[in-house]
Structure 1
Amino acid sequence: MAVIACIVIAFAQPFIPGSNVATQEKETAIYLDNSYSMQSSGSKGELFKTAVTDLLERLPNDQKFTLFTNSNTYTNTTKKEVANDLLNSEYQSKPLSYEQIQLKANALLNDNKKRKELIIISDFQKIDETFPDTIKGLKRELVFLEAEGSNNISIDTAYISRRETNSIDISVSVTSDKAINNPVTLSLENNDVLVAKTSVDLTNLKDTGIFNFETSQPLQGRIYLEDNSLSFDNELFISNNIDRKIKVLAINTVDGDFLKRIYTEDEFDFTAVRSRDLNFNLLKEQNLIILNELNSISVNLAKEINTYLRNGGYLVMIPALDQSGYSSINNIQGTDNISEKEKRITEINYNHPLLKGVFNKQISNFQYPKVNATTNTISALNPILKFEDGSSFLFQKGNVFNFTAPLNNQNSNFKNSPLIVPILYNMGAQ
């Protein structure tokens, strides 16, 4: 093996007739790579463990040498002194760069009267990095350890791809170096308990597996697969931070008790204030802000709300019939024509994200809620609920959910409809 050959040569006495080096002593440093990729299997087993075994077998018993890995340094030592540490060495995620290896070796080999020699034992995975040759008088021996034709399967990413009222879908992207004909199993643990399994098809080198997870319990999970090649990229940890309560602020001019019954304290940090008592410092902390039938929106409030929206916050606008200043807020349209004609809410957009998973089937006949007056007649591009004339009762524009009619009991019975709970709940869970 190349390791053996280099060690034998490195510690043999030089003899070049007529040369000054014939009697010049030398000191040798050995860099032994213990990065994750050295777990790969060679002809005799894992590359790192095989290299350690060969070193301990071939180094002279009384020979003093210096050896360093990505995590430890042993100066002027013997194999007896380092054997136990090397045999129990852990793999490291971040290997030294080639320049760092040379600089460290040069610092460790500090006897100017001796020739300096550096042996680098690695699988040299950093193929995009140029090996510098800038240290004068430092002789290098590069020992390349090559893995056998193995195939590495890795989990690249995991993310929440879909949210419903009581569950989430977790998508997991998996890739492989080579095509695999058999399905590869992915497992999901939550708090060290196996809760789900799925499989991916890697005949085309990549695939995505999906887990459905009930959100009635917090997710502190581990996703993993079985890969006999390399294990360092075979697991991923994921959390849905369900313990962090969602902050909802309702700014009311009219009664807002129905909101408190929806945004319960087990999941939400709900705050309700009268518009005249609003502290603007509260706005930036919220996940959702509800403007509940405000008669007027000041220039300063509009400015703060627009900043909040630009930073990714969500807003629900429940309009008042008597209103001013609404158009100062982005994606809000002030009243253009108040209509006091009674309208029924008859059409549900089941494909809107707020309503996905809410209904087991589409409902063709239900007790339609109604309104007595509307502030706008809009046929929105992204409607959620529509009136029987096709205009929008509730629609989304950007991060703003717009109602086109007040929800107070004098104007509408929508608060008594079973639709209101999942819709407003999911607005908060965005």
Structure 2
Amino acid sequence: MRFLFPEFLFALLVTAVPLIIHLFNFRRIKRVYFSNVSFLKDIEQKSSAARKVKRLLLLALRMLALVFLVFAFARPYIPSAEKGHSSSGINAVSIYIDNSYSMELLNKEGTLLDEARRRAGEIASAYGVNDRFQLLTNDFEGRHQRLLDYEEFLSAVGEVKVSSMSRTLEEVTARQAEALSQERGAVRTAYLISDFQQNLFPARPLNISDDTEYRLVKLAPPAQTNISVDSAWFISPVHKAGESERLVVRLKNNSDQESQNVSIALTIDKQQKAIGSLSLPARTSRTDTLLFSGMQEGWRQGELRINDHPLTFDDTFFFSFLVRKAVSLLVINTAAPAPYIDAVYASDPFFHVSSTDAGSVNYSGLSAFPLIILNGTEKMTEGLAGQLKEYVENGGSLFVFPSVEPDLSGLNILTRILGTDYAEAISSQETRVSNVNYRHPVFRGVFDKQPNNPDLPLARKYILYGRSGRTAGEPVMSLPGRRTFLGDYRVGKGTVLLSAVSLSEESANLVRHSFFVPLMYQSAFLSLRDRPLFFTVGKNEYFDTDRINLAGNQSLKLKNETIEIIPDARPSVAGTRVFIADQVRQAGQYRLLKADSLLGYVSFNDNRAESDLSYVSGAGITGMFAGKKVKVFEPASTPLKNSIKAANNGVQLWKLCLILILVFLAAEILLLRFYGRKD
């Protein structure tokens, strides 16, 4: 047992007062004369013994009453195992309120967020008037990084609302530690009030400070079902005006109950284009493909919607895409122009092909072409190779058809700078392609099924490549002995397709083979790396777009019906990088504007991590703080204030002292009134 105010124990000296009174009876003896006392002698002896016992009992009761009165002022307590309170210093208390979408669920106390706000107030009321508090939510607002007094804290708690942001425990505890470090010398305690969904926890145990005690208040969410629109993507990366589209939609059942016939509605530019239906077993995902057509050139806004309650934030999925009228390709000739490239793309007006000589390349305009086809490598220079590398690293696609001439220096300049496989020698031994990687994207959708014993291209004069070890290539087509006929290499954000043959019939029959047309079409389609269909609120910090030229007083704007944001735009080799950081807090369609000119649409969706209604038990929570000072409260409907006080100061005994004082005083009264009386 310990005392909060041990200085009061000096008052125990007061207990000497009844003892002194007992030892020195100051009452004056009164003589009573009797004519004959011989008959009273025996009675007097018996009454004297009874009075002595009575006085001793009264002395004990009075001294005990005084002792426990002193104890009551000294505030005795039995300390708890976790010490979270200082009797001499200030407490610095950080309280995190989980205000994510899952906290909108209803229980007996209202919404989980309502209960979290009330619990935060109970925690604060368990501390003293001089203690300081930090309020933290998923929004990570700057105003929540300072410590508040009790009244300011209660006011801030009342303003907490549901947020689209989602954080992990690692992020939350790091933010709390940063705020608590402001109060030096204080006892630091961090509270986390949440339903503790599985997505809140990192994959590994938390590394937290030993000088902060963590207390987790686990709220009790109700059992609910939840279906979410998890993602969506197109089968084709290219969207042509007037052609049909196939959109794949993935729904996810985040609960332990099966859901039957969940309807899906697709709208494009606020016009319904397709509907679908899916049945989902418990804890599974299923996909459906929606078909639609009639798209016009330009940016299109898409929206997928299902009907599912009570959580509705994940029932709507936004996306946007660009329908193109044409795409521009560039052919750089370091050898004689090859008519086969023009012949392939001339049949489709979607492709606009430009040709230039290696010595006349406009380096500043390379980023305008999603695909560059390099015809020959005879006149390759360090400067051109360096520019091509920069182009590829920033997201461009380069298709290299080398010159099969004895001098391989030009080709090796290019391969050395790009970091791909290098040219060892030229072989004139006629051979046929032995293996085709049908799983590669250039063959995706080309064949209904993998052909048996197909007629494969024949190589007559070709490059033998050696492994450089710098950039591992993926074989698209291979010659016997695992020699590369066509390899795919990732360089930075872009792709290099490196051929072993040139664009001549003397080198191979590829230019007249049935594989050539789909190979060139697919490589052009894959080079169209449009902006992603959607971004995630609070997760994506930037996106890339085509080059935007801004005057000195101009700025970009992201705008919807209610919000206007001015992002930071910085030029890059591939175009313009737009930084949004955490400015976007609301899902929906945003217009990207330069002054009043529409540059495109950007779609944002809420983080689907909140959709999974899986929760961690109290034991699981403690396990994430292995070896640290952690206490988990599961208060249900009981007040939390007393539990916090008990955790701070142990079991308080001053109330028991007051009760005992009253008991001793009552016993004294009864003793004086009834002890020793005769009937």
Cα distance, 1:180–1:346 mapped onto 2, change above 3 Å: same
Alignment partners' CA distance in 2, 1:411 and 1:46: 73
SS in 2 for 1:327: helix
Matches within 5 A, 1:318-357: 318-322=401-405, 323-329=408-414, 330-357=418-445
Partner SS for 1:294: coil
Is 1:418 aligned to residue 514 of structure 2? Answer: yes
What's the counterpart of residue 404 of structure 1? 500
Cα separation, partners in 2 of 1:324 and 1:180, compared to 1, 3 Å:
same
Count matched residues.
Answer: 332
1:392 corresponds in structure 2 to 484
| Alpha-carbon distance between aligned partners in 2 of 1:121 and 1:350, rounded to the nearest angstrom | 57
**Per-residue CA distance 1:249-298 (angstroms, 9 max, x = gap):** 21123223332343466434432212222111122332221111131211
Query: SS state of the match for residue 429, structure 1?
Result: helix
- Note if contact 1:250-1:273 (Cα within 8 Å) is conserved in structure 2: yes
Q: Does residue 1:239 correspond to 2:323, yes or no?
A: no
**Structure 1 residues 303, 123: closer, same or farther in 2, change over 3 A?**
closer
Match of 1:256 among 298, 321, 338: 338
CA apart distance, 1:304: 0.8
Work out whether residues 296 and 325 of structure 1, in 8 Å CA contact, stay in contact via their aligned partners in 2: yes
User: Is the CA contact (8 Å cut-off) linking 2:373 and 2:398 kept in structure 1?
Assistant: yes
With a CA cutoff of 8 Å and minimum separation of 6, indicate the structure with the bigger relative contact order: 2
Q: Which residue of 1 aligns with 2:266?
A: 189
Are 2:392 and 1:304 equivalent residues in the alignment?
no
Cα distance, 1:197 vs. partner? 1.9
Letter in 2 for 1:307: E
Residue aligning to 2:353 = 270
Aligned equivalent of 2:285: 207
Identify the match of residue 232 of structure 2 among 158, 163, 166. Answer: 158
User: RMSD across aligned C-alpha pairs, in angstroms?
Assistant: 4.9
8 Å CA contact 1:189–1:221 kept in 2: the answer is: yes
Distance 1:272 1:384 in 2: 26
Q: Within the alignment, does 1:280 sit opposite 2:280 as a pair?
A: no
Aligned partner of residue 375 in structure 1, secondary structure: strand
The residue number in structure 1 matching 2:257 is: 180
Structure 1 residues 419 and 208, CA gap change in structure 2 (3 angstroms): same
Measured in 1, the distance between the counterparts of 2:447 and 2:429 equals 30
Q: Deviations over 1:114-169 (max 9, x none)?
A: xxx99959877799999xxxxxxxxxxxxxxx998654443344345886999666
Q: Which stretch of the first structure deviates more once superposed, 274-283 or 188-197?
A: 188-197
Please tell me the residue identity of whatever aligns with 2:427.
S
Distance 1:46 1:194, change over 3 A: farther
2:521 is paired with a residue of what secondary structure?
Answer: helix
Query: Closer, same or farther in 2 for the Cα pair 1:403/1:200, shift >3 Å?
Result: farther
Give yes or no for contact 1:187–1:223 (8 Å, CA) kept in 2.
Answer: yes
Equivalent AA in structure 2 for residue 195 of structure 1? A
Q: Distance in 2 between matches of 1:385 and 1:216?
A: 37
Q: In 2, distance between residues paired with 1:152 and 1:368? A: 51
1:333 offset after TM fit, Å? 4.0
The aligned counterpart of 1:112 is none
Among residues 156, 170, 175, which one is paired with 2:248 in the alignment?
170
For residues 222 and 453 of structure 2, the distance between their equivalents in structure 1, rounded to whole angstroms, comes to 66
- Assess if the C-alpha contact under 8 Å between 2:232 and 2:247 holds in 1: no
1:358 positional shift: 1.1
- Cα 1:228–1:244 change in 2 (3 A) is farther
In the TM superposition, what whole-angstrom CA distance separates every residue of 1:357-391 from its partner, at most 9, and x where no partner exists? Answer: 21123333444432321122569963222335653
User: Is the CA contact 2:329–2:369 (under 8 Å) kept in the aligned structure 1?
Assistant: yes
| Residue among 292, 303, 309 paired with 1:222 | 303
Q: Compute the displacement of 1:235 (Å).
A: 1.1
Structure 1 residues 119 and 271: CA distance shift in structure 2, 3 A: closer
The farther-off stretch of 118-127 and 288-297 is 118-127
Native 8 Å contact 1:324 1:334 kept in 2: no
Q: Measure the CA separation in 2 of the matches of 1:36 and 1:412.
A: 60
Aligned mates of 2:225, 2:460 — CA distance in 1: 67
Q: Which has the higher helix share?
A: 2
Tell me what 1:5 maps to. none
Whether the 8 Å CA contact 1:292–1:318 is kept in 2: the answer is: yes
Q: Provide the rounded CA distance (Å) in 2 between the counterparts of 1:251 and 1:215.
A: 36
> What amino acid does structure 1 have at the position aligned with 2:274?
V
C-alpha contact 1:327 1:334 (8 A) present in aligned 2: yes
Q: 1:365 to 1:202 in 2, by over 3 A?
A: closer
Gaps of 5+ in 1: 1-34, 48-93, 107-116, 131-145
User: What SS does the aligned partner of 1:335 have?
Assistant: strand
Q: Kindly indicate whether the alpha-carbon contact (under 8 Å) linking 1:371 and 1:412 is maintained by their aligned counterparts in 2.
A: yes
* Contact 1:341 1:372 (8 Å CA) reproduced: yes
Q: Percent sequence identity over matched residues?
A: 21
Q: Which residue of structure 2 aligns with residue 52 of structure 1?
A: none
The answer on whether the counterparts of 2:234 and 2:245 sit within 8 Å (CA) in structure 1 is: no
Residue 183 of structure 2: aligned partner? none
| Bigger Rg, structure 1 or 2 | 2
Q: How does 1:61-210 map to 2 (within 5 A)?
A: 120=158, 151-160=225-234, 170-172=248-250, 174=252, 176=254, 178-183=255-260, 185=262, 187-191=264-268, 192-199=271-278, 201=280, 203-204=282-283, 207-210=285-288
Alpha-carbon deviation of 1:316? 0.8
Q: 1:121 to 1:402 in 2, by over 3 A?
A: closer
Deviates more, 1:178-187 or 1:413-422: 178-187
Q: What SS is found at the alignment partner of 1:258?
A: helix
TM-score, normalization by structure 1:
0.60
- Alpha-carbon distance, 1:320 to partner: 0.4
In structure 2, the CA distance between the partners of 1:418 and 1:124, relative to structure 1 (3 Å rule), is closer
For residues 375 and 265 of structure 2, what CA distance do their matches in structure 1 show? 42
